[in-house]
Amino acid sequence: MPIRPAKKNALPAPAVDSPVRRRLPPLLRRSWYGLNQAFRRRIAHTGVTPDQFTAMRTLLEGDPAGLTQRDLTAMMSSDPNTVASLLERMEATGWISREAHESDRRAYRIRLLEPGRVQHEACREIAVRLQSEVLAVLPEAERQTFLSQLDRVSMACRQAADASPRSPR
């Protein structure tokens, strides 16, 4: 497709941080918050939280031998304290087990137990329906492209975070 020259009398595009322009941070936050709230409400009857569902799904899709807490934290794009607290609650409910890692004395292998699999399955169908419902605002032919582009944006966000200096504590 040929590139069209700019219109001669066209106004310059508003600045990236202009209030009249769509901005990435509020759009991502509003999207995540709305999706998280909808999911939280739809699975409330199961006793599972969205973060617990994400941990269950990640454990199911990860190494069958189990994941370390560090692996799980990275794969969930979370922080170690949040995941530690999450795992304590999940272990207390009997959804996961933590067993000593075979080669790292400081680590544990986290595995999803059968009660956790049952809970995951109870929520999975709800998650799939919600995702389909939300993506239905896009033409079907555009959905995979949108998700691919969103994946690229999320990786760029992660790279920006990794490249940014941490503040001293």
pLDDT tens digit string along 17-37? Answer: 777 778 888 899 999 999 999
Tracing tokens 């759009």 back to the chain, one arrives at 27
pLDDT, position 28: 93
pLDDT, position 2: 57
pTM for this prediction = 0.81
Tokens of 67: 């994941």
pLDDT, position 5: 61
**In degrees rounded to 5, what are phi and psi of residue 75?**
-70, -30
pLDDT, position 12: 80
Query: pLDDT below 70 — which residues of the chain?
Result: 1-8, 169
What lies within 8 Å, CB to CB, of 51 at 6+ separation is 76, 78, 82, 86
pLDDT, position 102: 85
H-state helical runs in 101-139: 114-135
> Are 58 and 67 in contact, with CB atoms under 8 Å apart?
yes
H-state helical runs in the chain: 24-43, 50-61, 69-75, 80-92, 114-135, 140-163
* Structural domains present in the chain: 46-136 (1.10.10.10)
pLDDT, position 157: 92
pLDDT, position 6: 58
pLDDT, position 41: 98
